[in-house]
Every structure is written in C-alpha cells, then in structure tokens.
Structure 1
Amino acid sequence: MAATAHPAPPPLPLPRSPLPPRFTQYNSSDDPPRGLRGARRLTLHPPSPARRRARSLHLRCRLSDSASDLDPLRVAFACGGAGGHVYAAIALADELHASLPSSASLFLGAPSPSLESDAAASAPYPFAPIPRCLPHAVLDAALHLRRFRPNVLVATGGAPALPACLAALLLGVPFVIQDQDAGPAPATRLLAPLARRIFLGFNAPVRLLPKRKCAVYGNPVRMSIRKCRISKADAMASFFPRIGTVGEEGVEVLLVLGGTEGSPEINVALLNMYYEMLRERRNRYIIWQTGPEGFCEMESLVRSHRRLLLTPFLHELDKAYAAADVVVSRAGSMSCTEVLVTGKPSILIPLPTMVDDHQTKNAYIMADVMGAKVITEDELDSSSLRSIIDEVFGDEKLMSDMSQKALSAARPNASTDIIRHICSLGHV
C-alpha cells in the first residue's frame, strides 16, 4: 500500500529583531504610538556624527524650551586694583545685559572700600568681597561661585582674578581671560594654559601665550563712552555752567587725566604753568582730574579760574571726552582704548613703575598707531608739557590726522565680540 504524501509545512517566518525604541517605525498616515505622539518622523539609518551633532543642536534649540528662558546665563566677573581692569569688566557686564536682559552677573573683588566695590555698586551689580590673602581668597571665591552657580567666569585682571580663577578650576567652572595691556600680566601667563579663551587688547602678547586660545578684539569700552552723542557745546555747559552758552568754534578744551588714583607728577607739572597758559590763551579751557589723593593739596594751591575745572574724579567721563579737543593722560590700557574710540588727539605720559612697564609699551604702540605724543616721566616738567600742548593745539592738520588714525585703529565692537563668545561658551 503506497504511503500518502503529506505536503511540507510552510516555512516558519524568520524572527525580526526588534528595533530600538527610538527607531520604532510607524506610518505617517496612522496615529503614532502613544510614546511617539508629537515626535518627529525619524530615520531608520543611523546618522553620521556630523548629522548627529547638528540634530542635537537643532533639537535643543527648536524642540525644547529656550535655554535662556529656563536657565538664564550667569556670568561672574573677577577684577580689581586698576581702573582698566574694573571698567573693562563693567563694560562687558553692560554689554551682556544689553544683549541678554535675563542674564545674571556677579562681581568678585577686594572688600570695600575698593574701586571695584564702588564701581559695581554704582552700575549696579551684585558684589561679593574676597580677601587679599590668597588661600582665604580662593576659599571665599569658591563659596561665592558655588552659591551663584555661574556658567562662566570672566577675569579682567587685578589681584582678585587669580584666586577667582583657581576657585573656578576647583568647581569645574570654565573661565576666560580679558587682558588689556600690550604685555600680558603675570597672572595671565600663569593661567593661560588653563583658560578656555584669552581675549586681548593688542596683538603683541599673542607670541607669549597659547595662540590657539587667543583672540585679539581690542579692549571693551563702557557703552556710555563709545555711544556718546553729546555735542561739545552741551558737554562744556555741564562743566562750565557759569559761562553760559559756549560756541564750539575756536574754543580749545584740554582734558587732563592722571589715571584712577591720579598722578602727582602730572599735577605738579600742570600746577606750575596752568595759570599762565590760561592767561595767554583766552579761548582755552582745562578739565583737570587730580585723583582723590591729590585733590585737597591741589585745591589749596590752584588759583580759581572761570575756565578751569578741578575735580578729584570724573563720574561723567563720556561728557569729558565729548568736550575735549586734546587729552593729556597716563598710558593705561583703558585710557588708550578710550582715546582711540573717541578719536581724541593725545599726549601720553606712561607710569614707569607699573608691572613689566606695560604703560610705556602702550604709549609707544599708540605713537605708532595714531601719532600720539609721548613724554617720559624723566622728560616731564612744566616747560615740556606746555610746549607739547601748544604744539598740538597749534597744528590743526596734526590734530585732524591723529583723530582720523585713532578712529581707524579703534575697535568699538570689542565688547560685543567678546560677549558673543562668552554666551556661546556659557550655553554649550
């Protein structure tokens, strides 16, 4: 009896390996699975690394709430000592809050009374004091930073910058450096290998620092100075109200700045010739910043004159620059930067006792860039100062050339460029 042939059973389907949850496939015409409602349609092919990075950035920016809404950018500033360090930080903080109103700032510096505590209070920005003793300063800075939780620390120089940066390293907070001078400060050289970025005011320091970290943007200038739209006549009226309306034509205004603390050497040189100069030049006015320490002595020695303003400190420096035709100044980094941004012919008297003699370097760079006149402290006396002042005022073409070269060399957008990099660092 023949055996009955049975048909072979159909082959079993090969098992399909389940897709990972993030690659779950669905038809766009159907309702997506519950876990994928509202999700974008995703590819089954793993993306390339470049595409993955781009998608990650896109999803963070578009599919989630804005980082600035959920977690505003928080930036700490460490500065102190010289006005250049402090006002560079103030300029950056002002630019940050103009660009990102929801951002938060904290200033770290020497306890009050100090230049940085006063400047932060008048801005106004929150201020946290750190002591001058290095071990205690690092500990206090770390406590302040831990409480504030900054995305990034910006160090603009001065004694508080070093302990603040060391504290940031301990806490894993990235920090950047903004160095204003023609020669890098010792702290900048020490911290440069550890900094995320180094922003420089001049090209010269690049050769002494890690080049890949350096960006030369110029020095940040306070918004009130670089965006000042006050006329010379209006500015003069605020300093010399008793004179009434002063026309701009033919009027010469000399602005004398001795730096944040003032300059005894400049004060003495001017003291011995100011009255004679005003008597001989009846169209000349002087705005004279003596510095807080030298004011009382100068006030007791200077004879009152209707075309002379004597003041310990200029709180409205923007108006002083607007009124001035020629500036006599120390060669601090911020003073040089302000001269460039405002386009003022200048006579620079560098202070030789500064660290690395950086003011002398600044002064001769300014001489090359815009033709600024330089008087060394050894050469400074009443006769030499009067001679150069009259030389500059007496040559309209020289003044015009100096002004044009200064404006051409200026970098008024330094604050904007630096803050753009700080924002990208803080949110990535």
Structure 2
Amino acid sequence: MRAFVTVGSTKFDALIQKVFSQEVLEALQKQGYTEVIVQCGNSSFEEQRGAADGEHPVIVQRGGLVVEYWKFKPTLEEEYERADLVISHAGSGTILDVLRMGKPLIVVPNPTLLHNHQQELADVLAEQNYIKSSSVDDLSTTIEEFGGSTLLNRFPRFDGTRFAKILDETMGFA
C-alpha cells in the first residue's frame, strides 16, 4: 500500500519533519503501508539533501518502508491516483482534488499561515466526515486510528449548475 504526503507549493517544515519521524513511519507500517511518497516542497528537514524535482526522486529505506521524496512536479494527479492514503496540508485545491478522486485523506493544517485559515476548512470538512483532521503532533495517532476501516462520507460530485443558479438568483435573472 502507498501513502502520499504533500505540502503543495508551500513550506511546511513541521509536517515533513514529522512524516520522517520513526513514530509516523511505524504507524504507517502498522497499517500495512509499504511505500511513502513525499512531496516536500521547499520544507527544511534532515533528509532534504538531494531532494530535487519529481523526475529525480531520492529513494531510501526506513524501517521496512520504501520512502521516496522530491520537491515538486508539474502535477500531482498521478500521485493522488496511485495513493491508498493521502496526507496533506489543508490547502483547498489539494483537498478538493483528492476528495473528488474519492481517496482517503488526512489533513494537517499549517497553523503558521494567515489567521490559521487552514484549520477552519479542515474543521468543517472533518465535522462533515469527508476527511480526518490532525495536528502535526497527533499525526501518528490519527494514522493508527484511521486505519482504513474508518468510513468517510463520499464527497459530492462537482455540479457547476449550482453556482449558475445562485448567480442568476443574486442578479435577479431567476
């Protein structure tokens, strides 16, 4: 099984450092994961040396897991498709992409960003049971509790007509 970790275009040192920690790698292994793919962006972490683009990933063994990491790729769609679990910062674009694919998602908001806006989004989606939300400190526990047996709600398909109806009503066309 494959877990994919992404911070998108941001720098989220705490999340990437935690993903490389023994406790998180052990939690993933206990849940049956054999591969961990990490899109680390510009984050600073001990293993960052050698991290390049997705065409030239660094691949290491960590306690029975194959860990591959790199900074950026033009698109992450293939990584989302191949993942059995996605662990992500709480960027709205990333969340929507992953939820529309129907992939299990653990979201870790970055509290250092403007007004902690990622936490608000994560809280709402977790309350509606579309995602699991975690802090950096609780990530290993969240992974263990999530365990694949947790059923999340299926995110609704995109319906562009809903926005058009709201706009028509607002403008007085309906």
- Fold-level match, TM-score > 0.5? yes
Secondary structure, aligned partner of 1:370: coil
TM-score of the two chains, using structure 1 as the length reference: 0.32
The residue aligned with 1:260 is 9
Supply the distance in 1 between the matched residues of 2:154 and 2:66 (Cα, whole angstroms).
28
1:249-328 correspondence runs (5 A)? 252-273=1-22, 276=26, 283-294=33-44, 298-299=48-49, 304-305=60-61, 307-328=66-87
TM-score of the two chains, using structure 2 as the length reference: 0.72
* Structure 2 residue corresponding to 1:356, chosen from 89, 98, 115: 115
CA 1:347–1:280 in 2, change beyond 3 Å: closer, same or farther? closer
Supply the distance in 1 between the matched residues of 2:108 and 2:40 (Cα, whole angstroms).
15
> Would you say 1:413 and 2:162 are equivalent positions?
no
Supply the distance in 1 between the matched residues of 2:45 and 2:73 (Cα, whole angstroms).
12
AA paired with 1:267?
I
Q: Whose Rg is larger?
A: 1
The residue aligned with 1:385 is 139
The residue aligned with 1:346 is 105
Of Structure 1 and Structure 2, the greater helix share is in 1
Q: Is the 8 A contact 2:27 2:144 kept in 1?
A: no
Per-residue CA deviations over 1:266-322 (Å, capped at 9, x if unaligned) read: 111112226556776665211111113537952469871372220101333111111
Q: What's the offset of the Cα at 1:417? A: 6.4
Q: What is the aligned length?
A: 157
1:116-131 correspondence runs (5 A)? none
Q: What's the offset of the Cα at 1:364? A: 0.6
Q: What's the offset of the Cα at 1:412? A: 2.0
Supply the distance in 1 between the matched residues of 2:103 and 2:81 (Cα, whole angstroms).
9
Q: What's the offset of the Cα at 1:419? A: 8.4
AA paired with 2:142?
I
Supply the distance in 2 between the matched residues of 1:412 and 1:267 (Cα, whole angstroms).
31
Per-residue CA deviations over 1:350-387 (Å, capped at 9, x if unaligned) read: 122333322111001110122522223xxx23xx3222
The residue aligned with 1:20 is none
**Structure 1 unaligned runs (5+)?**
1-251
Query: Higher relative contact order at CA 8 Å, sep ≥6: structure 1 or structure 2?
Result: 2
**Structure 2 unaligned runs (5+)?**
52-57
Q: Is the 8 A contact 2:59 2:68 kept in 1?
A: no
CA 1:418–1:296 in 2, change beyond 3 Å: closer, same or farther? farther
Supply the distance in 2 between the matched residues of 1:254 and 1:284 (Cα, whole angstroms).
8
Supply the distance in 1 between the matched residues of 2:36 and 2:27 (Cα, whole angstroms).
10
Per-residue CA deviations over 1:237-279 (Å, capped at 9, x if unaligned) read: xxxxxxxxxxxxxxx2111111312310011111222655677
AA paired with 1:352?
P
* Structure 2 residue corresponding to 1:367, chosen from 122, 126, 150: 126
Taking every aligned residue pair, what percent have the same amino acid on both sides? Answer: 25
Q: Is the 8 A contact 1:326 1:345 kept in 2?
A: yes
CA 1:262–1:386 in 2, change beyond 3 Å: closer, same or farther? same
Secondary structure, aligned partner of 2:44: helix
